Structure 1
Amino acid sequence: MLPGSIQITGETLSGAEVKDICDSLKENTVRLLSVRGCQFSDRDFGRVCRGVAESHSLAQLNLNLGVVSSITRTKQLADALKANRSIQTLFLHGSPLLDAGLVSLNTALCTHPSLVSLDLGDCMLGDEAVRLICGMLPPDGAKSGLRELTLSANPAISTKAWARLAVAVAHSSQLRVLNLDYNPLGDQIAGMLAVAVASSRTLEVLDLEGTGLTNQSAQIFLDMVENYPTCLRVLVLAENAISPELQQQISDLLSEGEGEEEEDKEAEACADAPHAPLEKSAWIPHSSSSGRHVVLLTSGLGDSLLAETEM
């Protein structure tokens, strides 16, 4: 039987319901577990973490909206992640982690063998957390790192720390999606990010919605996509003081580049088809400008389970 999903939002979970979740995790019948905004006791949270540790099927874990509400729970989650080998996507959006929480999670996150997507939006993070996150974006030639990172709405992060992140992004060998929306970045940091995008050989999606940018930033991005080769295909600039004309120009250029890239890929696929048929990817970006997160999970039988959760 193909593993399924458990998705519960904003409920108070009883001990019996938690037992059912834990049993399903231990029986490896769950591929996606989402308990976003749910309330349950610390004891029951520990039981769920033990279930996560024992699961070999779980690929996506959603604990958004305050489920990881204390340093005790953070440590329990860290222990679960150290034992688990299967999770690809972890959502902790809206959890009051602070830097101390990320310190507790850091080793588990950095050493997890399958984790490729991490949402730390609105987690009250600061500069120390960013320093640790940069370690999850190893440079070319190093171990594999995150492919998707969300740091939305963490206003305590300083300009210096954002600059450090921009350098890490420039040299990351894996990162494809970066969501920095609703942070007070301003034009200075946006300029650094433009350089990072131009340097990156993998970054495809950059979300800068509501980050305090002006036409100055947009002009830099326009010059970059107009005159330099880049992997970028989506740049979100909504809710900034940027003219619609500039936004449209950038969007049109990115669309043109994406069309040319698709044509090149099709030509390569046709040329390679007799020798090596294309394989389905086990991971696709979970974010888009619409805010939906999608993960494609492939079973050993070649079938696929498409699971969606909304932020």
Structure 2
Amino acid sequence: MFCCVVMSKDKNALSTSDAGTSLDVGTLQALEAIRELRSNATKMFDLLQQDQGGKDDGEEDNSALANAMSNLAHSIPDQIETLEKFITCFARQGSTFFHQNAGLLIRNDPADETHLYESILSSYNWIRRAREHAQWTFNFLNPMARRSQSKCLRKVFPPSFLQMNPTFMSNMLPFMQRQYPGLHITTIPRGRSTILLMVTVRQVPSLADPSRPPSKIFEAAVLWRGLQIEWANVKGPDESFYDDSGKLCLHRRSRYAIFRHVTDNVKGLIQQFNSSLTTFPMPQTVVRHFFSWLYYYRNVFAEPCCNCKKILKDNLPPSFREYRDSKMYVVHENCR
């Protein structure tokens, strides 16, 4: 019994090796047939070119050229038929073939430069909000469609991001202004659950000259919808969010490149803030982190970069602050 098993294993090994050897031989024969076919086709085109260029030659040369062309014309179909026979010997691959270096082509190394994280987080946030709105609409319209069948309407609950204690912001904002000197916050009601915050960051008066008034560094407009930040915009000290007629013009970007970069960074933090708000047990801690991160931009023109140790690079100060780090990491946009 053992001898039979050994013999069967030897036969399988021999058959596998024979299959590999036959496959290699078939590959070499197919490559040789391709080489001969290309060589004969090249010779055929060369002879045709000679025939067109030398029409005034003798009859002997023309007869030799015709014989050579007839031989090549008979050999090329035979070689094509031979190549087709070799091709049928190859087995078709069952799955998609990937080269070993295909993984290097799939990788996306410059993810930070393309701001992929902010885009994905923004898409996820909008999909989550659309789902909550759809659920809210379904809960509101479904009882109305079945009013004749049901005795009482079910209670409609607003989405989670619209639920806010009225005293929460009124108690939180004065506390933030006392904790961070130079931070001035003005509230402008925009609806039932929407509040527009005009955040002004000023320089703290120095002890050497207390009579000098604090200078304005920048002003930010932050739109809150419940406990969720919908939108933000940052402008310079000499810019205003009001137009010539006295109306609010919130969506006009700043004239200065540094404050446009700050606005982009604030929008990136908003996505992180909104994603952490639904899973964080204490929303006041997240709100405090947002204002502390925004307040840290008061040193935007005085603090050097952590990488190059310079304040100016490409005529811009370091405008990027790390979102998820407890210690603020200040770098230029090109030093990240």
Q: TM-score, normalised by structure 2?
A: 0.19
Between 1 and 2, higher relative CO (CA 8 Å, sep ≥ 6) is seen in 1
TM-score of the superposed pair, with normalisation by structure 1: 0.20
Larger Rg belongs to: 2
Q: If each structure's helix is expressed as a fraction of its own residues, which one has the higher value?
A: 2
